Amino acid sequence: MGAGAGNSFQHIMVLQKTFSLPSFPRGYHLITNEVMQHLSGLLPDTGLLHLFIQHTSAALTINENADPDVRTDFESMFNHIVPENLPFLTHTIEGPDDMPAHIKAAMIGSSVTIPITKGWPNLGTWQGIYLCEFRNRGGRRTLVATIYG
């Protein structure tokens, strides 16, 4: 703070909540509503929401929320880029979908950060939060939500 700025500090609230999503089939799934159900009443008027997935074979991203063809095309494109049964893969003990799942998860990422405005995630008109499930049977996925406000 510069001279004369006063000694007022705004306290930042930090909350954290861990929750599980139900098992989703392999593919790209809009989870915005599920996330908001778990965070109901916790979001400040203004702040940031950071979501982290505690898994190495699934990912989180933000993308198109209107046309389901986008999610189908994501699945097709990533399967083309990182196909199963590549002869040079050595981590194969958990099945042919496992190592490609790790690579896809590394490509997309394990977290997203979203601004909060008026107590709600400030996503664009056509944006939604995706769970990218890369395993044939991934099971329940655990997310950690950290809220700053």
The confidence band for 1, taking pLDDT boundaries of 50, 70 and 90, is: very low
How confident is the model over 2-25, as a mean pLDDT? 82
Q: Is residue 79's pLDDT more than 60?
A: yes
What tens digit of pLDDT does each residue of 23-46 get? 999 999 999 999 999 999 999 999
Q: Is residue 132's pLDDT more than 60?
A: yes
**Cα separation, 48 vs 79, whole angstroms:** 33
pTM of the entire predicted model: 0.91
What tens digit of pLDDT does each residue of 58-72 get? 999 999 999 999 999
The residue written with tokens 């395993």 in the block is: 135
pLDDT at 16: 98
How confident is the model over 4-18, as a mean pLDDT? 78
Reduced to 3 states (helix: H, G, I; strand: E, B; else coil), residue 98 is helix
Structural domain boundaries of the chain? 22-148
**Cα separation, 73 vs 7, whole angstroms:** 54
In DSSP terms, which residues pair with 146 in a beta bridge?
16, 50
The confidence band for 119, taking pLDDT boundaries of 50, 70 and 90, is: very high
Q: For the structural domain made of 22-148, what CATH number should be given?
A: 2.60.120.460
What tens digit of pLDDT does each residue of 15-26 get? 999 999 999 999
pLDDT at 5: 56
Sheet holding 27-30, edge to edge: 27-30, 127-133, 58-64
CB 41 within 8 A of CB 149: no
Please name which of 76, 77, 61 lies closest in space to residue 29, comparing C-alpha atoms. 61
The residue written with tokens 């099945």 in the block is: 95
- The DSSP letter of residue 92 is -
Percentage of the chain beyond pLDDT 90 is: 92
pLDDT at 12: 87
> How many C-beta atoms surround the C-beta of residue 37 within 10 A?
10
Instruction: Collect all residues with Cβ–Cβ distance below 8 Å to 37 and sequence separation of at least 6.
Output: none
Please name which of 40, 47, 41, 37 lies closest in space to residue 13, comparing C-alpha atoms. 47
